[in-house]
Amino acid sequence: MIIAHCALSLVTVASLALQAVPPQPTAKQQDLDRRMGWFREARFGMFIHWGLYAIPGGQWKGAEVSGAGEWILQTGRIAPLDYMPLQAQFNPVEFDGDEWVRIAKMAGQKYIVITTKHHDGFALWDSRVSSFDVTATPFKRDILKELADACARGGIQLCFYHSIMDWTHGDYLPKRECDARNPEDADFDRYVGYMKEQLKELLSGRYGKIGILWFDGEWESTWTHERGLDLAKYVRSLDPDIIINNRVDKGRNGMAGLNGEGEWAGDYGTPEQEIPATGIAGSDWETCMTMNDTWGWKQSDTNWKSAETMIQMLCDIASKGGNFLLNVGPQPDGRIPAASIERLARIGTWMETNGEAIYGTAASPFTAPPFGRCTQKRLAEGRTRLYLHVFEWPISADGATNSLVIPALKNEIVAVRMLGATSFVSSATRLGDGWSISIPVIAPDSVSSVIAVDVVGIPATGEPKVSPH
Ligand code: FHN
């Protein structure tokens, strides 16, 4: 009996030991984790939409054109051969790469994604395979090279947006309705070869190490899953470490930006102008968003989001394990609009105090905390730091004391710190399945006040296992 008992004990120990070992990531997951490391740390980037479309700025022949500024060729029904002469007007004498990098750093943004070539086909760099590029303008200078050097000086990761769709290239299909050129003369395979040559220029090393190839314009019928796989493989052959978004292929579910069922090329999902309702366990994603309604400069678009709204968006996105790629559309003279700079400055002030609650954090362990949002980071000694982003600051009952309740948290709390009021000494008291935290009467920040709560172990909320929010 004793032997049997021992045997049973050994089996129990062995099975417990097996259960305790988490599954080893596959080689493919390890490769992805390696490439995505800086992206998951950065969490907040600047999107820049800039090109010839900034010159008309949403107007054509004196008339306002509907839609986003960078779509004026299509929405304004302009023949490509009537649009391309804008090249002779492109002279952004106020362009200063160091100033753009200063503004991104002021905001707390860690990477810049700039349109190398948008759907209009105009190249913002010195391309050897096209004369529809910036060197054949009055400005002449290689804008991407100057921005790349400024990013290197400023410690910002440079990334490239590149449109698969090209409204002006003679070989791209389908042609725009008002394009009088004969589609029979077009050769789409030849266009793909041209696109690959331009990507080779962009990843040649002349512009430094590029963090992301942000493809776009993959939705037309001529672009296929087969071509997407081939293009992703080609880019990977130029740089095995570069991150490629999911718009290289055909897996994206529209503006929701995440891939549908099946195996698709691309390292992460790209929700556009929206934030997923919940976190997406096991997936990287990045919401891209305009500050007003247009990506490219449009003089009449003054529908600016408030800085406060965008700060809470940043907290919401990070609490779901995503990145926030916030857009600016520089004016034709090369300056980022003052309204954008003003908002980025306010966001930057918040990030100065609270950036640790965004950078390198993971999604919330809570489904929908009543106080706002939550992000988390693993600490040494098996502890976890929870960052409580409090949007609605509790109202003090007596005007002298105040507290915030964490409704469900089984872990022991070992430390509490107010990020925006470091002189305030917080304490935690067990309250049912959760905790009550002593906090200042007045919120340290009117938009999102952050409380850092260190707990023992991995957070156990006791909630049903769903993605955050
Ligand atoms: O058509 C483009 C648009 O101009 C802009 O570049 C956005 C940014 O992600 N992407 C496409 C619309 O989904």
Joined tokens for residue 47? 């999107």
Confidence at residue 17, expressed as pLDDT on a 0 to 100 scale: 43
pLDDT digits (tens, 9 = 90+) for 87-118: 999 999 999 999 999 999 999 999 999 999 99
Distances (CA, A) of 106 to 46, 101, 152, 309, 355: 11, 8, 16, 18, 12
User: Residue 47's pLDDT is what?
Assistant: 99
| pLDDT tens-digit readout, 264-295 | 999 999 999 999 998 888 899 999 999 999 99
Question: Does 38 score more than 90 pLDDT?
Answer: yes
Report the pLDDT value the prediction gives residue 467, as an integer from 0 to 100: 52
In the DSSP assignment, the letter for residue 365 is: S
Compute the distance from residue 216 Cα to the ligand 1 centre, in Å.
7
Q: Which atom of ligand 1 is nearest to the CA of 295?
A: 5
Given a cut of 80, whether residue 191 has pLDDT beyond it is yes
18 has pLDDT over 70: no
**Per mean pLDDT, which range of 2-11, 195-204, 304-313, 322-331 is the poorest?**
2-11
Of all residues in the chain, the percent with pLDDT exceeding 90 is 90
H or E element: which one contains 50?
A: none
Q: C-alpha 103: how far from its chain's center?
A: 17
pLDDT at 465: 58
Model confidence band, residue 25 (pLDDT cutoffs 50, 70, 90): confident
Residue 326 Cα, ligand 1 centroid: separation in angstroms?
A: 13
Q: How far apart are CA 453 and CA 413, in angstroms?
A: 7
Torsion angle in degrees (nearest 10) through CA of 361, 367, 372, 378: -20
What tens digit of pLDDT does each residue of 342-376 get? 999 999 999 999 999 999 999 999 988 999 999 99
CA-272 nearest atom, ligand 1: 9
User: Does position 6 have pLDDT exceeding 70, yes or no?
Assistant: no
Q: How confident is the model at residue 16 (pLDDT cuts 50, 70, 90)?
A: very low
State in Å: Cα 331 to ligand 1 middle: 18
Q: What is the pLDDT of residue 463?
A: 76
- Cα–Cα distance for residue pair 133/152, rounded to 1 Å: 23
Task: Give residue ranges with CB within 6 A of ligand 1.
Answer: 68, 70-71, 216, 272, 288, 295
Predicted confidence (pLDDT) at residue 408 exceeds the cutoff of 90 = yes
Q: What is the pLDDT of residues 302-318, one digit of tens each?
A: 999 999 999 999 999 99
Judge whether residue 169 has pLDDT over 50: yes
Provide the whole-model pTM: 0.94
Q: Give the start-to-end residue ranges of the domains of the chain.
A: 4-23+362-456, 44-357
CATH top class, domain 4-23+362-456: mainly beta
Considering the four listed CATH numbers 3.20.20.80, 3.40.50.620, 3.40.50.300, 3.40.640.10, the one that applies to the domain covering 44-357 is 3.20.20.80
pLDDT of 102 reads 99
pLDDT band at residue 3, thresholds of 50, 70 and 90?
very low
In this structure, what are the phi and psi dihedrals at residue 111, rounded to the nearest 5 degrees? -145, 155
For 385-390, what is the mean pLDDT? 98
Mean pLDDT of the chain, nearest integer: 94
Residue 239: its pLDDT value, please?
98
Distance 6 CA to ligand 1 centre (A): 66
Mean pLDDT of 58-76: 97
Mutate which of 48, 253, 272, 295 for ligand 1? The one with the most ligand atoms within 8 Å of its CB, which is 295
Q: How confident is the model at residue 420 (pLDDT cuts 50, 70, 90)?
A: confident
CA atoms within 13 A on the CB side of 26: 3
Report phi then psi at 304, rounded to 5. Answer: -80, 135
